[in-house]
Structure 1
Amino acid sequence: MNIQLLNHVAVHVADVKVSISFYRDILGLPQLPRPAFDFPGAWFRIGQTQEIHLIGNRTEAVHSHSRGTHFALQVDNIKAVETELKAKNATFTGPKQRPDGNWQIFIVDPDGHWIELCEIRNTI
């Protein structure tokens, strides 16, 4: 088996329209065309080839936390991200330096999914 890369992450959301506003307007991800599935959702591009797929009609509770289930998006400048999130009146924690010297901010989407925004300066 030769796994090449992570293609997409699927995130269950209760209200697709509210989540579109968060992922597009707060995180600044470009929205992609989506096939005509028989359930609501939206797709967003991350970087060159990776994606986040929102899947609508979530009815179960979300169990997410910075030290539990979450996903991380790498950014090039954590201070610029902090400035941009403040300008958008977004609620977030950090930036905080990790023990490996890299920096992270955590933000929570409208459904309670924790998202780490990280600047990687040091690799182990």
Structure 2
Amino acid sequence: MLDLRVHHVSIVVTDLERSVAFYQRAFGLERLARPPFKTEGAWLVCHGIQIHLILYPQGTFRAAATIDNNDAHFSFHTRDFYGILDHLVAEGFREDAEEGDPMRLFVIREGLAGFPQLYMMDPDRNIVEINGAP
């Protein structure tokens, strides 16, 4: 195995401050200093892994506002899956929200993966997974 680790994930956003607020509110991510690149963006961190938000006003390729766990996504891991789920519910996210509602959670408590997973969308329809993998 090569000595590699994930350094960061880049995510396209159309409203930088709205997205920073989402990732900080939903996941408690800390904002990092960012070099003055030509493109606007923000760097956030989660236990040493960086999330780079890149402002791209045209948006992403995803036109549908539906959560598809087989679509491109990135994932956070947690040892306290139900604690995170409770936190998200306290922030207004809901499993019973209608398809297309930005507050919708798609939760798989016992699935084929063998651990609980939930999926949600950020304000730019980027799919985010949170899992309780061992």
Q: TM-score, normalised by structure 1?
A: 0.88
Is 1:65 the equivalent of 2:68? yes
Is 1:76 the equivalent of 2:79? yes
SS in 2 for 1:45: strand
Structure 1, gaps ≥5 residues long: none
Give the whole-Å Cα distance in 2 for the aligned partners of 1:27 and 1:62: 24
Q: TM-score, normalised by structure 2?
A: 0.82
Alpha carbons of 1:62 and 1:27: their partners in 2 closer, same or farther (altered >3 Å)?
farther
Give the whole-Å Cα distance in 1 for the aligned partners of 2:13 and 2:129: 18
Q: Is the 8 A contact 2:13 2:59 kept in 1?
A: no
List aligned pairs for 1:2-13, cutoff 5 A. Answer: 2-13=2-13
Q: Is the 8 A contact 1:33 1:43 kept in 2?
A: yes
Structure 2, gaps ≥5 residues long: 94-102
SS in 1 for 2:109: strand
2:49 matched to which residue of 1?
A: 50
Q: Is the 8 A contact 2:116 2:131 kept in 1?
A: yes
Q: Is the 8 A contact 1:73 1:117 kept in 2?
A: yes
1:109, CA displacement in angstroms? 0.2
Give the whole-Å Cα distance in 1 for the aligned partners of 2:39 and 2:130: 29
Q: Which one has a larger percent strand, Structure 1 or Structure 2?
A: 1
Aligned residue identity for 1:101 = G
Percent identity reads 26
Aligned length: 120
SS in 1 for 2:28: coil
1:103 matched to which residue of 2?
A: 116
Aligned residue identity for 1:27 = F
